[in-house]
Chain A
């Protein structure tokens, strides 16, 4: 599903943000990605959601070497990936409903199905009463749930979540993690970057730990 071989990354002329990263994620696995602020978690996820090509090494996604995928074939690969961005990236001028509907519209799903799916999912994350609200009128935690709903609405084969529980209390955090767990159980490969040790402890899944741009080994279910 995902395989990194000796991957390095630097932005522009800057220093190496990631160095010598090697790991593989099998289909249907669930991993936490931990590490101190600035360790490179977001950068590693960016490589996985194809926002960035590696500076060195080889990234293989869905059995394809990303270096050899022509530009016009990237969209099809990206449509299999759902992303919860650390900064949400909701579009301010769209309602919660329209934000969540966006990936479905990009994929050309018909409006009737979009309506049922989006309303169902937003209700499930507790925002059934906020369908027509704009992001600015929602709290941080509510925005985060909109962002998560948008990431999972297409039932992606790979779900990448960057600090998805940063703005919600533990109860909601656990509820959201259960949502990811549900997707994992139906076969989605999940990677969750988090600072929250209680979440990592609660779900016994393997952890990729980054320190200063380097992987320091999988720590299976260990509380950070």
Chain B
């Protein structure tokens, strides 16, 4: 019976194609799994650092001044002082409705709120590029409204930026580990293929094929299988990330809208499959050359 011969899409010159390939499916699937992990880790890190950058942009020109309930009759004086401070473009007390809305998630809605003493909050906008010494401002404000506190969101932002940095470092570590594991898989698979195709390789040697000729076939196969696996892994990661974005949007539309990748960041992820192909190609080549160097 004639064996079914599938058209070889990836290796048109299959004459030396190393016949049956016990591990031909194994390599693309392990690369796919690795690229999935790398892509999810990278996408998460990129989205977080993008969000941190946007938060920093949005918040760096603003401050919030909090005047305790006991000093709420000093609000006008505090506003006057703020408006007279160089670098401050605008200072506006928040309406009671806005404050109630901010507190609602914690305290609930209802009559009781009306009687609850709440601090007065003042939104401060800086003239663009201006820096205001928060500590000095706080001291001066305490003079007109005892207990007034200035929050320039720095502590919170520093926390978010730090988190973004750590996450990014972790993602890079994941990518590096994934690269090493994938290269290990390529070495393992290539050795298995060498063993399975020993006769063919001996024969090629006796016909005068040099090591580079033989290694070239393995390298091409590695390149193709690495890219195939990379594309599958990336598609799976894209699906997983899209699902996550949907869930996030349902939970909090504002957060969902922030957690998106820019075109440049998406392009970074598109580099993963060719990178996987390159690693597979170079590793396969090296493995074959070093194995062949031991035969006559």
Is A105 touching B15 in the complex (CB atoms < 8 A)? yes
Contact of B16 among A80, A105, A136, A137 (CB under 8 A): A105
Please state if B206 and A91 are interface contacts (CB–CB under 8 Å).
no
A79-B206 in contact given A51-B296, A102-B15, A105-B16 (Cβ < 8 Å): no
> Beyond A71-B296, A134-B2, A137-B2, is A78–B206 a contact (Cβ under 8 Å)?
yes
Q: Please choose the segment from B50-58, B207-215, B235-243 that sits at the chain A interface, where 4 or more of its residues have CB less than 8 A away.
A: B207-215
Min CB–CB distance A88 → chain B (angstroms): 10
Q: Are A79 and B296 in contact (CB under 8 A)?
A: no
Q: In the complex, are the beta carbons of B296 and A53 less than 8 A apart?
A: yes
Contact A106 B19, beta carbon cutoff 8 Å: no
B20: interface (CB < 8 Å): yes
Known: A53-B296, A75-B210, A107-B208. A94 touches B203 (CB 8 A): no
Please pick, from A51, A101, A133, the residue contacting B15 in the complex, using a CB distance under 8 A.
Answer: A101
**Could you tell me if A103 and B16 are in contact, using CB atoms closer than 8 angstroms?**
no
Q: Does A120 contact B (CB under 8 A)?
A: no
Flag if B209 contacts A106 (CB, 8 Å): yes
Number of interface residues of A (CB under 8 A): 32
Are A93 and B20 touching (Cβ within 8 A)?
Answer: yes
Whether B210 contacts A103 by the Cβ 8 Å rule is no
Query: B199, A78: Cβ atoms under 8 Å?
Result: no
Minimum CB–CB distance from A95 to chain B (whole Å) comes to 9
Which residue in A71, A80, A91, A105 is a CB contact (below 8 Å) of B13?
A105
Complex Cα gap A134–B2 (Å): 7
**Smallest Cβ distance from B296 to chain A, in angstroms?**
6
Interface string of A184-207 (1 = CB under 8 A from B): 000000000000000000000000
Known contacts: A93-B19, A106-B213, A134-B3. The answer to whether A52 contacts B207 by CB under 8 A is no
Task: List chain A positions with a Cβ less than 8 A from chain B.
Answer: 49-53, 71-72, 74-81, 83, 89, 91-94, 98, 101-103, 105-107, 133-134, 136-137
Can you list 23 A-B pairs, Cβ within 8 angstroms, ordered by A?
Answer: A49-B206, A53-B296, A72-B211, A74-B296, A75-B205, A75-B210, A76-B208, A77-B208, A78-B205, A79-B208, A80-B208, A81-B208, A83-B206, A91-B199, A91-B203, A93-B17, A102-B203, A103-B207, A103-B208, A105-B13, A105-B15, A106-B207, A136-B3
Interface residues, chain B, CB within 8 Å of chain A? 1-3, 13, 15-17, 19-20, 199-200, 202-211, 213, 293, 296
